[in-house]
A and B are shown apart, each in its own frame.
Chain A
Amino acid sequence: MDIGILRRDGRTDPFFDGTAAGRLVIRRCEACDRWFAPDASGCPGCGEEDPGWAEASGEATLVTWTVLPEEPPAYLALVELAEGPWLHARLDGVTRGDLREGLPLHVTFERPDEGETYILFHP
């Protein structure tokens, strides 16, 4: 599958600044001591509409997956970051036989010729 070109749009700038530097940056509310996915619309604990950003470890486990019938197959997933939030993600370096709940994964960064750096998860 052709990924296409990713463009930043203001809300995604801190995330893509992070990926460009090889860091996975997600939302974190310090006041509530809670982590959220990068696309979180706010902190439901305190109502903060623009929680801060903090670097996540990049470690994750596999929650569930789907495979697109392409050549080569595209492995797409929900992954659970070590900090707790789930991300919709694309897996790399896996085969069908590897896929199981709880499979340990870690983040890697892909720098295309054009557009923003995106993330993949590897076993």
Chain B
Amino acid sequence: MRTSRGTSIVGLGMTELGRVYGRSPRRLAADAVRLAAADAGLALGDLDGLLVSHGVSGSPGIELAGTLGLGDLRLLAQVNAFGATAGAMVSYAAMSVLNGTATTVACVFADAPRKPKQSAGAAYNRSAREWHGFAGMTAALGLRSVTSFYALAAQRHMARYGTTSEQLGAIAVSTRAWAAGNPLAEMRDPITLDDHQNSRWVSEPLHLLDCCLVSNGAIAVIVTGDDRARDLARPPVHLWGWGQGHPGHRKERGSDFGLTTGAASAGATAMKMAGIAPSDVDVCELYDCYTYTVLVSLEDYGFCAKGEGGAFAASGALGPGGSLPTNTGGGQLSAYYMWGMTPLSEAVIQARGDGGERQVPARDVILVSGNGGILDHHSTLIVSPHPKGA
């Protein structure tokens, strides 16, 4: 089998997102893969690799291959690094193409945690009358939502570096400003810093408008070699670099929990592979489960000094017209929460020039992040409309 010198994302498939009820994760995943193949101008039978990932409502499973009628696959696996999975899957797909394991690999995420007549956050909260085990004790004492664990991280950053709620709010405001231009975004009405400050506390120091949405749906991308990518339906989105960072913060004296994340090592690895520095990045699509996640990621990637993420966000750099357009589709905060597929899908849209009224003019280098667990796992991709080194 001939190996390829470069790899690209050539297909993007997105189901309806948000309040999409009545479809299982496997059905949603199958729909997304079909859409991605059609987008690329490929038949399902052209796929010889499938990587599957899931959220909190059950996995599509590698049985998805059977659902799609895929035979003679050369690569098939379920991948899980929580919110870092999308970037990781794309890197495994690219490596498989580069070493000849497979030629054309679909990577899919699906989740359907949102139920009719239930609050959006319910899927990420625990509730019980009786509690078991140490995790049960922690929950019983009050740490029952993912938001509270991120609040602990954000509060530590605030206490150490003087980061403020208003600076977090600047990220909520700029992200919503981008969402206004995205027809796929669930929340498109502009918000002000006052709206952010007046939104209810979920878990101090995080307001409601510091927190992401919860969405049902699925997104798939297709990775292939540049030799094949040239002949397909859409402009290739070239993969320049990738990296992961799993800091393994131990919960003990000396831990950097809340202060630094796996973005530091993941970003360094990906940027070295891509042959770029932070100053070369035109657009950031960052995992924004919380406003704070964006702020600390910007620091760890080196877009500003450690501790200066708040001032950087408040400077207006991240919004429309700013120096570092970030989360240009409205991110997870305002558009849709498809874990790592949210930033990745918007990166593909921007790289292709399909951003419509939100399209950024300079898009030669786009950084995509994924973050999983409570800042436990991180992935980075560097993508571009141009071949690497061209």
- Interface residues of A, Cβ cutoff 8 Å to B: 1, 3-7, 9, 11-12, 15, 36-39, 63-69, 74, 76-78, 80, 84-90, 100-101, 115, 118
Contact = CB atoms under 8 A, between A and B. Distances in A.
B135 A64 contact: no
B129 interface: yes
Interface of B: 128-138, 140-143, 148, 151-153, 155-156, 159-160, 200-206, 251-253, 255, 257-258
A9 B130 CA distance: 12
A118 B141 contact: yes
Contacts of B205: 66
Contact of B133 (A5, A9, A69, A80): A9
Contacts of B203: 66-68, 76
16 contacts: A5-B131, A6-B131, A6-B140, A11-B134, A66-B152, A67-B204, A74-B142, A76-B141, A78-B257, A84-B252, A85-B251, A86-B252, A100-B159, A101-B160, A118-B137, A118-B141
A12 B253 contact: no
Contacts of B258: 64
Given A39-B134, A69-B201, A100-B159, 8 more contacts: A1-B142, A11-B133, A38-B134, A66-B155, A66-B204, A67-B203, A80-B253, A85-B252
B252 A64 contact: no
A42 to B, nearest CB: 13
A88 B141 CA distance: 9
Given A63-B156, A64-B155, A78-B152, A3 B140 contact: yes
A66 B128 contact: no
B151 A5 contact: no
A89 B136 CA distance: 12
A6 B130 CA distance: 6
A89 B138 CA distance: 7
B74 to A, nearest CB: 36
Nearest to A80: B253
A98 B185 CA distance: 41
Given A4-B131, A76-B143, A64 B251 contact: no
B136 A6 contact: yes
A68 B135 contact: no
Contact of B141 (A11, A69, A89): A89
Nearest to B206: A66
B129 A64 contact: no
Contacts of B202: 69
Q: Which of B129, B141, B155, B200 has the most CB of A within 10 A?
A: B141
Contacts of A37: 251-252
Contacts of B141: 3, 76, 88-90, 118
A69 B251 contact: no
B140 A4 contact: yes
B148 A66 contact: yes
A1 B152 CA distance: 18
B142 A65 contact: no
Contacts of A66: 148, 151-152, 155, 203-206
A74 B204 CA distance: 10
Given A6-B140, A76-B148, A65 B134 contact: no
A82 to B, nearest CB: 10
A107 to B, nearest CB: 13
Nearest to A110: B141
A77 B153 CA distance: 10
B137 A12 contact: yes
